[in-house]
């Protein structure tokens, strides 16, 4: 008789996985394929998840890093992370049909940036260098009108030309706690700095981090389903670790390191905003091969946010 599997309680965070912006972006690619037929080109990954990207490839989406790699005469979709203004301008100059799948919450940050520049304010932008969302936001306004702030040290060191004419904005997928610490420094150093009317960190990022905090203290370890280049997923690992729980990022069920899990008795699971629920179930199924699992109920915020599709694609 085979050895009995050890018991394991699973706490699956709520909410988790896809947010409204990711749902919308994927749907835009699917509808573009229905409208135009394959191939539809997509500049950069539509969202940061290999499983999602590969699924769209099988339907006829072609992902390219730059607009120069999009042939003439075919439609192109811009990713959910947003693009610099120069990208749609270049598409228009080439006569390309393009569809902008930028998350509306990212677009809101873009509009705020434009308004601050119109009012002659210099922007301190809290974010991670090289992230597509940051590149897109910096590309909304003239060069030199935004200073990127990545760390608390950056916030302490920045010396703006006019401390009385400042505003700050943030990337939408940051750590809520880390960002609050940076904002506190900026407010202390520059009391008149203009803040966003509403927090720029998006509802989905905030909710998923709160959901991790709600269960981390009850877990021996946590798995976060998401991609290494997914900012919001990496932040979930950091949040769990900050709560004192060891955590690891996994792409899917086959990525689980069971040696790392060790003798856990209670395991937390969550998923970043670009990871579909099917991968959550795949991870649970993989764990069930080794453990006798029991899923404990977890209550969380119910998300009802939806975003309109671009004109011309909506049914």
User: Which residues participate in catalysis according to the annotation?
Assistant: 133
**Other Cβ atoms closer than 10 A to 115:** 12
Helices assigned H by DSSP within the chain: 20-36, 50-59, 86-94, 104-118, 132-138, 152-157, 176-189, 203-216, 231-242, 258-261, 277-288
Tell me the CA distances in angstroms from 162 to 43, 159, 305, one per residue in order: 37, 9, 39
Q: What is the largest CA-CA distance in the chain?
A: 76
3-state class percentages of the chain: helix first, strand second, coil last, to nearest 5? 40, 20, 40
Residue 143 has, within 13 A of its CA and on its CB side, a CA count of: 1
Distance CA 96, CA 150 (A): 35
Distance CA 12, CA 267 (A): 8
Q: Collapsing DSSP states into helix, strand and coil, what is residue 181? A: helix
Distance CA 68, CA 243 (A): 45
């Amino acid at each position: 008789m085979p050895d009995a599997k050890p018991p394991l309680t699973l706490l699956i965070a709520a909410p988790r996985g896809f947010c409204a912006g990711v749902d919308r972006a994927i749907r835009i690619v699917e509808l573009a394929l229905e409208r135009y037929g394959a191939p539809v080109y997509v500049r950069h990954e539509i969202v940061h998840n290999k499983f999602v990207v590969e699924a769209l490839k099988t339907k006829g989406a072609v992902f390219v890093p730059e607009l120069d790699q999009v042939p003439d005469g075919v439609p192109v979709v811009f990713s959910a992370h947003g693009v610099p203004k120069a990208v749609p301008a270049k598409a228009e100059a080439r006569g390309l049909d393009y569809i902008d799948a930028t998350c509306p919450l990212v677009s809101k940050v873009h509009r705020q940036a434009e308004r601050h520049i119109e009012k002659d304010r210099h922007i301190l932008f809290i974010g991670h260098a090289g992230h597509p969302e940051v590149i897109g936001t910096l590309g909304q306004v003239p060069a030199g009108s935004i200073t990127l702030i990545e760390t608390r040290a950056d916030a302490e060191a920045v010396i703006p030309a006019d401390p009385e004419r400042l505003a700050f904005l943030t990337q939408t997928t940051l750590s809520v706690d880390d960002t609050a610490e940076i904002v506190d420094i900026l407010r202390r150093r520059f009391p008149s700095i203009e803040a966003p009317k509403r927090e720029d960190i998006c509802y989905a990022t905030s909710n998923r981090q709160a959901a991790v905090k709600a269960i981390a203290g009850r877990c021996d370890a946590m798995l976060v389903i998401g991609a290494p280049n997914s900012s919001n997923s990496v932040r979930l690992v950091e949040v769990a670790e900050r709560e004192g729980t060891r955590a690891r990022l996994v792409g899917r069920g086959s990525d689980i390191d069971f040696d790392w899990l060790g003798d856990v008795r209670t395991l937390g699971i969550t998923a970043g905003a670009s990871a579909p629920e099917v991968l959550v179930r795949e991870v649970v199924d993989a764990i069930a091969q080794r453990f006798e699992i029991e899923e404990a109920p977890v209550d969380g915020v119910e998300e009802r946010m939806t975003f309109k599709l671009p004109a011309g694609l909506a049914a």
